[in-house]
Amino acid sequence: MHHSLFGEVARPRIRWGGTVLFRSGLLEALESLLVFAFRKKIMPTYADLVKPELLLQPVYQPGKPIEYVARELGLDPSTIVKLASNENPLGASPKAIAAGKAAMDSIQLYPDGGCYDLKQSLAKSLELDPEQFIIGNGSNEVLELLGHAFVGEGDEVVMGQGAFIVYKLVTLLFGGVPVEVPTVDHRHDLLGMAAAVTDRTKLVFLASPDNPSGSSNTKEEVLELIEALPEHVVFVLDEAYSEYLDDPVDLRGLIAKGSKVFCTRTFSKIYGLAGLRIGYGYGDPELVSLLNRAREPFNANAVAQAAAIAALEDRSFVEKCRGENADGVSFFEERFEPLGIEYIKTYANFVTINVGNGVAAFEAMQDDGVIVRPLAPYGMGEWVRVSIGTKVENARALASLTSFLNKRSG
């Protein structure tokens, strides 16, 4: 007999010829290894079963939530300033909040899967036809739908180096090849992007204003790029920050003429609905119809749709947000100059700053209760991105940043 977790049991035996032998501990260990190896061979892990491209897929790292930082550092959540995710410091329009709350009264019902009312509002706002719009769970989903529709194994997708990382994630997810064109003075090189197009290219992604740099290309540059693209390439303009521009590029005329152009927008930035995850794309009705084939049913919830409609209609709130953002940008830029702080001229709702060591600045400012975004994942290890906040939040961010830079230089 020998002992186990279950008490005394008979020692396992093996038969050698006509002789019965007790199995030694060494033989038991050897058998265990053989069984493990056998099972490993016939029982693959999940990683053995998934698509190979998924194993190479980077994981998107969002900005740290206030509650997480509060627990981690033992801080009062009410004292923490989050300026990491380019959210609207003024929140959402009161009319949008009221509409969202009203939609909760029918929350037991599925949402309108076709987003009829929202498309009608968008059509009125942008002077397009309702069938030219597709609604997404944030504009990120719309970008992914483009991947579903166009990107396959070995297909190329052109983008600027250090551009919004979702372009690269979508390309890799569908087995495509991201072709990243280096920037020039932190601005996307559109001539270089045009030159990077090959017979394998399916999509060209451009954000203007850009995230995370905040830079913007001129209307003339964008139109010149589109003109240079061959007919087999679809140009995608990410307009997530276009509402912050005084005179944004307008591609509706090219869409009407049949150019292979598609645009995406979000309600997460100037409209302040980031927590509801709703965005949209617009383009040729044929393209929108094809993208709808890849869209998940009921992908935009009822509360988000109702709030988005009300947010679109509250133009005075949007203008107020634009004004507050412009004041915040001026606050930082006017103080960076005398302090000798290098920054990228911004056309969005954030400023991107060279601090020497982005991770060190992020950690030091986080200790002060100010959350910013280090940009090492974008190949900008010396930089941080600071979202424009309220006047009080901007002042705290500047004080924390200045303290870090003073300690670093001292």
Check if 63-88+316-409 and 94-314 are the same fold. no
Please give the CATH topology (third level) of the domain spanning 94-314.
Aspartate Aminotransferase; domain 2 (3.40.640)
Token pair in block for residue 165: 């990382």
Rounded to an integer, what distance in angstroms lies between the CA atom of residue 73 and that of residue 76? 9
Of the two residues 364 and 65, the one the predictor is more confident about is: 364
Does this model's pTM top 0.75? My answer is yes
Mean pLDDT over residues 192-214, rounded? 97
- Residue the block writes with tokens 């300690």: 407
Looking at residue 65, its pLDDT comes to 84
Looking at residue 5, its pLDDT comes to 42
Looking at residue 55, its pLDDT comes to 84
Which residues are CB-contacts of 69 (< 8 A; sequence separation ≥ 6)?
75, 80, 366, 369, 371
- Residue the block writes with tokens 């991105």: 385
**Domain assignments of the chain as residue spans, ordered by start:** 2-43, 63-88+316-409, 94-314
Whether the predicted pLDDT of 271 surpasses 90:
yes
Tens of pLDDT along 13-63?
545 455 444 455 666 767 777 666 666 667 788 888 888 888 888 777 777
DSSP for 83-116, please give it: -SS---TT-S-HHHHHHHHHHGGGTTSPP-TT-H
Indicate the CATH number for domain 63-88+316-409: 3.90.1150.10
